[in-house]
């Protein structure tokens, strides 16, 4: 049975060209990039080249690119680094504004800081169709607000957050304030413009394995002049913000994956093709009674994402049945997989009922085909019918 992979928001398959680039690099450049000898400086030079490629993608300076172990670490560094600076350098109890659409590596971090009394926090509730508006952010700003952190594209329901509009409204306030704007662009980079100057953000997070690159490597863009403390103590790597020997092969792989994304026009063309398949899938699924979409429709939704609620259906049984039928899908973020409880994002939409209810997230990638989508369209209604008869 040929497996059909429909969980690209969790991770993307490693591009064979990226794998070859990493393998060839590891066989040739094995030195520690912090060493001063020839082998070490060869590795260091390759990191510098990779840093420059990623900086070109974000339209920023190479020294504003900080390599981390992934998006979770990058988000933690962004949030806790700003909070630490506010507490120990500014001497204030900081206030953070974020949303209920965030990935766990933002949402849970902010919630923990608030629960411990380290910081104050405001969580913006999305509309019933999963949208957040700039006015909601601005309304929550206080004298001690030091950080606004928003996701660019929701990893669970595909909402596209108007980060440029948020930044524009923040700029009217930030001229005479210390507010830092952080954008989690992990799910956005495949299809959207991540030019940090146009986005108007101070911090931005990327992850390689969402872009057909390797796992275990991510980036935090830190705009020059942004006040942020390091979370770790050690060496002086990554401009003192992220000590430890760099994951050199991972860095090379990430730069290769980002380069293979191509220019914005190519990414938008690919997005349009994926959206056609996504819409074909939804046009069929929505005919099933007791099924509704989670999140927005139209341009406010990322092209690869389809998140649905299926009423009168057991969630665990549905995922298991689809897996046995050869389809890899998920209930939402892979970071909370295995939990039968609805995520904070789904709860924020008010989709919870007393009876059996399933949440299903289907996310498409560049290699999915019409034939694969039609196979899912044929199989899915049969599975729902059998589960509801039990």
Nearest alpha carbon to residue 245 among 257, 234, 231, 229: 234
Cα angle vertex 185, ends 181, 190, to 5°? 150
Nearest alpha carbon to residue 179 among 236, 129, 122, 126: 122
C-alpha to C-alpha distance for 12 and 218, rounded to whole angstroms: 14
Quick one: pLDDT at residue 175? Answer: 66
Q: pLDDT tens digits for 21-58?
A: 999 999 999 999 999 999 999 999 999 999 999 999 99
Q: Which part of the chain has CATH 3.90.1150.10?
A: 4-12+264-389
Catalytic residue among 60, 201, 256, 335: 335
% of the chain residues with pLDDT over 90: 88
Nearest alpha carbon to residue 214 among 247, 166, 176: 247
Name the band, by pLDDT with cuts 50, 70 and 90, for residue 292. Answer: very high
Q: pLDDT tens digits for 187-208?
A: 999 999 999 999 999 999 999 9
Tell me the CATH number for domain 4-12+264-389: 3.90.1150.10
Nearest alpha carbon to residue 130 among 301, 358, 7: 301
Please tell me the pTM assigned to this model.
0.95
What is the pLDDT averaged over residues 145-157? 97
CATH topology of domain 16-261: 3.40.640
Q: pLDDT tens digits for 321-342?
A: 999 999 999 986 545 555 556 7
From residue 343, how far is each of 107, 132, 155, 331, 359 by CA, in Å? Answer: 11, 18, 12, 9, 10
Name the band, by pLDDT with cuts 50, 70 and 90, for residue 303. Answer: very high
Quick one: pLDDT at residue 285? Answer: 96
What is the pLDDT averaged over residues 158-163? 97
Residue 347 pLDDT greater than 90, yes or no: no
Q: Which part of the chain has CATH 3.40.640.10?
A: 16-261
What is the pLDDT averaged over residues 124-153? 96
What's the mean per-residue pLDDT of the chain? 94
Q: Which residue has the tokens 């104050």?
A: 120
The verdict on whether 335 is a catalytic residue reads yes
**HEC per residue, the chain:** CCCEECECCCCCCCCHHHHHHHHHHHHHCCCCCCCCCHHHHHHHHHHHHHHHHHHHHHCCCHHHEEEECCHHHHHHHHHHHHHHHHHHHHCCCCEEEEECCCCHHHHHHHHHHHHCCCCEEEEECCCCCCCCCHHHHHHCCCCCEEEEEEECECCCCCEECCHHHHHHHHHHHHCCCCCEEEEECCCCCCCCCCCHHHHCCCEEEEEHHHCCCCCCCEEEEECCCCCCCCCCCCCCCHHHCCCCCCCHHHHHHHHHHHHHHCCHHHHHHHHHHHHHHHHHHHHHHCCCCCEEECCCCHHHECCCEEEEEEECCCHHHHHHHHHHCCEECECCCHHHCCCCCCCHHHHHCCCCCCCCEEEEEEECCCCCCHHHHHHHHHHHHHHHHHHHHC
Region label for 86, one of left (φ > 0), alpha (ψ between -120 and 50) or beta (otherwise): alpha
């Amino acid at each position: 049975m040929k497996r059909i992979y429909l969980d690209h928001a969790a991770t993307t398959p490693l591009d064979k060209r990226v794998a070859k680039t990493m393998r060839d690099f590891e066989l040739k450049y094995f030195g520690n990039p912090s060493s001063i000898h020839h082998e070490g400086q060869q590795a260091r030079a390759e990191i510098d080249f990779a840093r420059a490629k990623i900086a070109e993608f974000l339209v920023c300076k190479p020294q504003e690119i900080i390599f981390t172990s992934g998006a979770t670490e990058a988000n933690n560094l962004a949030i806790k680094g700003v909070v630490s600076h506010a507490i120990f350098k500014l001497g204030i109890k900081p206030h953070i504004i974020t949303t209920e659409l965030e990935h766990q590596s933002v949402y849970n971090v902010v919630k923990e800081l608030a629960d411990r009394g380290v910081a104050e926090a405001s969580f913006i509730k999305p509309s019933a169709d999963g949208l957040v508006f700039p006015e909601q952010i601005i309304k929550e700003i206080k004298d001690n607000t030091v950080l606004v952190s928003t996701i660019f594209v929701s990893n669970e329901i595909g909402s596209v957050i108007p980060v440029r509009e948020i930044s524009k409204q923040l700029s009217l306030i930030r001229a005479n304030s210390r507010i830092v704007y952080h954008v989690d662009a992990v799910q956005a980079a495949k299809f959207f413009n991540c030019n940090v100057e146009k986005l108007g953000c101070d911090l931005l997070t990327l992850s390689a394995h969402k872009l057909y690159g390797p796992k275990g490597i991510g980036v935090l863009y830190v705009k020059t002049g942004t006040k942020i403390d390091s979370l770790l103590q050690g060496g002086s790597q990554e401009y003192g913000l992220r000590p430890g020997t760099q994951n050199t092969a991972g860095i090379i792989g990430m730069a290769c994956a980002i380069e293979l994304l191509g220019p914005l026009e190519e990414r938008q063309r690919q997005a349009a093709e994926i959206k056609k398949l996504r819409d074909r899938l939804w046009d069929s699924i929505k005919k099933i009674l007791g099924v509704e979409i989670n999140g927005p429709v139209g341009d406010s939704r990322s092209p690869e994402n389809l998140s649905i609620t299926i009423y009168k259906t057991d969630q665990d049984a549905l995922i298991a049945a689809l897996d046995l039928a050869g389809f890899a899908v998920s209930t939402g973020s892979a970071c909370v997989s295995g939990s039968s409880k609805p995520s904070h994002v789904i709860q924020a939409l008010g989709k919870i009922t007393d009876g059996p209810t399933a949440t299903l997230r289907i996310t498409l990638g560049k290699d999915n085909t019409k034939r694969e989508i039609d196979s899912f369209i044929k199989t899915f209604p049969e599975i729902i019918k059998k589960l509801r008869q039990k």
